[in-house]
Chain A
């Protein structure tokens, strides 16, 4: 369970982790600047288990994997958005950062609400409002990726079996 941090549409990877910090790639360093150009208080105040809620096209722009890495290292439990930009979506799954697509939940969650997410079933609970939402299921190939624990483990696994 954690607090919802709500952002708008088209949250790009430049505001998730500005390029001025891309001269380093340690996850903790990136976490210290996560979401900085959208909300400077985020990195200071975010608690383990908090949830990021975004509108449509979350993570658009650059392919920098630093973006989901920063969110994961900030100990955000999951991102819930109406929709995701393609590269961000793929990167998040590849590194095991949970992301859920659920326009209804986005509409039904306000900034600061207490929210819990059941990652396996995709069930989203707004504890402040007492409402429940169901995220879209992942395509089956992606479920395999998630089960394997990300792309690197998946590739390792497949090479062993090959």
Chain B
């Protein structure tokens, strides 16, 4: 029997001809990453190993993105630990404010992660890189420390779930965010626990890389170990100018085995809104219509990429953010920010009355730059709407795509974008 793309990547990195789900393998890593929250703990654990240098200074990335530019003294101390470690170890991949971006936007953009890679990251959204055809999974700080020391990690080979999107047509403004929210709404926040989610079909073939990154980003919100998409022309076009090393393209065998196959017609999927306090509480935007919000957040490792900013600017063009709304926009990286600036989109946003920030995780995790007060409600393009995620435990977060977010910022309540775009 054949193997899935995930099984092939794990087998290749474990030096085996084949692996089967359930098997535990020890495998070689192409990249280990951490951020300013998980990194300091990993560095502390690394020190306990009594090993003086990381396994490969070109295969460890430290990304200070969560509380940076540092929000207070305590977070500045954490960043300092990361900075000192990066310097001591002479790491190739470390960036300071002004050049740094949100890790899961930055690493694909800079060609640090590539198709066929096996990656662990001390951040749950490490699964984002599956969009490039890599097997990438989130771990904690101790696994990260062991990975930095040995260049290896143990993996239980996951069962794969296949999600087939039939048809190349989408409803207007529907993007990767809606497809993944729709799936999570169907299978629940533990519907893919421990599994690899493989996204395929004509709908995915017609999806841009930015949208694919959004989809794989939220695989963890269904409890998955990884989200993954086979590389195709769109992938190769994306990595062509970015890759600075060799990479391998793996695709699933036609007779690979899946624990379950789900099929959807792409055209049937409407714009989605996830209600508090779980990403599985999805409804169509029409069912959410009229809910008043205090703050709209556009950005994050889910929807902080160029296409997301393009849609946002298109909707905000010539309009004003509702007087009672704070609309906060966080470009994912410096390059995204700069390109949006050159194309005039940042000007459009600021003229509309939005606040545009330097790249940071900021409010996504309730870190800084837009925390909610008691009783406040946000509509956000981020990935989690848990209790207290963006501030006070009695605040609320609704999740959606950038088109819905931008239109709702104009209207002052959740609205289908067609209402704002047609009626000015």
- A residues lining the B interface (CB < 8 Å): 10, 12, 14-15, 18-20, 22-25, 36-38, 56-57, 60-66, 68-69, 83, 85-87, 90-91, 94-95, 139, 141, 150-152, 155-156, 159
Contact = CB atoms under 8 A, between A and B. Distances in A.
Interface residues of B, number: 52
B139 A155 contact: no
Interface stretch (B160-168, B305-313, B348-356, B382-390): B382-390
Interface string B365-376: 111000100000
A6 to B, nearest CB: 17
Most central of A23, A61, A87, A151 by chain B CB within 10 Å = A23
Contacts of A156: 49-50
Contacts of B74: 23-24
Contacts of A69: 41
B45 interface: yes
A90 B75 contact: no
A42 to B, nearest CB: 13
Contacts of B421: none
B154 interface: yes
B141 interface: yes
Contact of A19 (B40, B278, B366): B366
Contacts of A152: 45, 48-49, 142, 145-146
5 contacts: A20-B371, A22-B365, A37-B393, A63-B123, A65-B122
Contact of A83 (B122, B193, B386, B388): B193
A57 B224 CA distance: 12
Contact of B388 (A10, A18, A85): A18
Interface in B131-185: 138-143, 145-146, 149-150, 154, 156
Given A22-B67, A23-B74, 20 more contacts: A14-B389, A15-B386, A15-B388, A19-B367, A23-B67, A25-B40, A25-B44, A56-B190, A61-B124, A63-B139, A65-B38, A65-B140, A66-B37, A87-B140, A94-B142, A95-B140, A141-B24, A150-B142, A152-B48, A155-B146
Contacts, number: 134
Contact of A62 (B40, B124, B146, B156): B124
B48 A57 contact: no
Given A63-B123, A91-B140, A57 B193 contact: yes
B138 A87 contact: yes
Contacts of A159: 150
Contacts of A91: 139-143
Contacts of B41: 25, 65-66, 69
Most central of B66, B72, B124 by chain A CB within 10 Å = B124
B295 interface: no
A10 B149 contact: no
A155 to B, nearest CB: 5
Given A87-B139, A152-B146, A25 B366 contact: no
B189 interface: yes
Contact of B38 (A63, A85, A90): A63
A32 B216 CA distance: 35
B365 A10 contact: no
Most central of A19, A36, A87 by chain B CB within 10 Å = A19
A141 B139 contact: no
B190 A85 contact: yes
